[in-house]
């Protein structure tokens, strides 16, 4: 099994430019999460999807960040325009949630974004 | 929202000794507490987890204890080895229809195993 696949692995952009990250969750996982991990810190949740519905986007800076999961499988996270402070690793995770149980919570390798 | 505090930020121990990392959480509704190990440039990997209906869980050299009353939980690694060197994160999940949802992480502990 491929696990949670993210691309690109690294991205360097100039400030004010747009950038997009892609995530392919583990097959069958209905729940998808985007996290941001700043250097030397723990991951911080940005948004959580159950199937195609964003059920928790309270930590997503909506003025410049957007996300979608149109068919309840792959997801993209976009930043437009990027700022210097957006430099971080963006991690995607997925799990299978059934009722009160949650299985197989797995992280991808992340996309390391550098804004210059 | 939930707040997770983790200590120490750096821990250096001699190979073969034990290491203990401690976390506290703020939301009494949290019911799931995983621990992740992250090596430099790699993804967080789940090493052990505990649910709020259990006080202790052990897996070979790794154990986790949970005190719901005090709202703190700890990771214990015995007989440490060089490959245990990494950053360790604790996390907590706020109950939302049950199960583990978005995780709130601590700031991490850099564990250094001295040969």
Asked whether the CA dihedral B59, B60, B62, B64 is positive or negative, the reply is positive
| Facing residue for B103 by CB, picked from A45, A97, A108 | A45
| Facing residue for B102 by CB, picked from A33, A41, A109 | A33
How far apart are alpha carbons B41 and A78 in whole angstroms? 22
User: A64-102 in b/e burial notation, b at 16+ Cβ within 10 A?
Assistant: ebbbebeeebebebebeebeeebbbbbbbbbbbbeeeeb
- Beta-carbon separation of B102 and A107 below 8 A: no
Strand A10-13 versus strand A19-24 pairing type: unpaired
| Facing residue for A42 by CB, picked from B42, B97, B106 | B106
Instruction: Check if the beta carbon of residue B19 is closer than 8 Å to that of residue B110.
Output: no
Instruction: Kindly identify which residue of chain B lies nearest to residue A50, measuring between CA atoms.
Output: B101
Residue from A43, A95, A111 whose CB has the most chain B CBs within 10 Å, to mutate: A43
- Beta-carbon separation of B108 and A44 below 8 A: no
How far apart are alpha carbons B79 and B9 in whole angstroms? 21
User: For residue B103, what pLDDT is reported?
Assistant: 87
User: For residue A104, what pLDDT is reported?
Assistant: 77
User: For residue B99, what pLDDT is reported?
Assistant: 42
Q: Coil, helix or strand for A112? A: strand
Q: In chain A, which stretches have pLDDT less than 50?
A: none
Say how many CB pairs under 8 Å bridge A and B.
54
User: For residue B98, what pLDDT is reported?
Assistant: 39
Give pLDDT tens digits along chain B (115 positions).
Answer: 889 999 999 999 999 999 999 999 999 988 889 999 999 989 999 999 998 888 999 999 999 999 999 999 999 999 999 999 999 999 998 754 434 468 899 999 999 999 9
Question: Based on the number of CB atoms within 10 Å of its own CB, is B113 exposed (0-12), middle (13-18) or buried (19 or more)?
Answer: buried
**Rg, chain A, Cα only:** 14
């Amino acid at each position: 099994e491929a696990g949670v696949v993210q691309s690109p692995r690294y991205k360097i952009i100039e400030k004010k430019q747009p950038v997009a990250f892609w995530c392919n969750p583990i097959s069958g996982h209905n729940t998808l999460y985007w996290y941001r991990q700043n250097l030397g810190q723990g991951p911080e949740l940005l948004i959580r999807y159950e199937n195609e519905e964003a059920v928790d986007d309270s930590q997503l800076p909506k003025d410049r960040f957007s996300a979608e999961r149109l068919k309840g499988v792959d997801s993209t996270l976009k930043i437009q325009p990027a700022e210097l402070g957006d430099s971080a690793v963006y991690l995607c995770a997925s799990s299978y949630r059934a009722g009160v149980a949650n299985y197989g919570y797995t992280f991808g390798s992340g996309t390391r974004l550098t804004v210059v | 929202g939930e707040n997770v505090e983790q200590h120490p930020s750096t821990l250096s121990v001699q190979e073969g000794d034990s290491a203990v990392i401690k976390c506290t959480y703020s939301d009494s509704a949290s019911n799931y507490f995983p621990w992740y190990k992250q090596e430099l440039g790699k993804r967080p990997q789940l090493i052990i987890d505990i649910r709020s209906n259990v006080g202790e869980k052990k897996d070979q050299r790794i154990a986790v204890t949970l005190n719901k009353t005090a709202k703190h939980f700890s990771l214990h690694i015995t007989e440490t080895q060089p490959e245990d060197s990494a950053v360790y994160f604790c996390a907590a999940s706020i109950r939302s229809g049950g199960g583990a949802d978005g995780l709130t992480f601590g700031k991490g502990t850099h564990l250094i195993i001295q040969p």
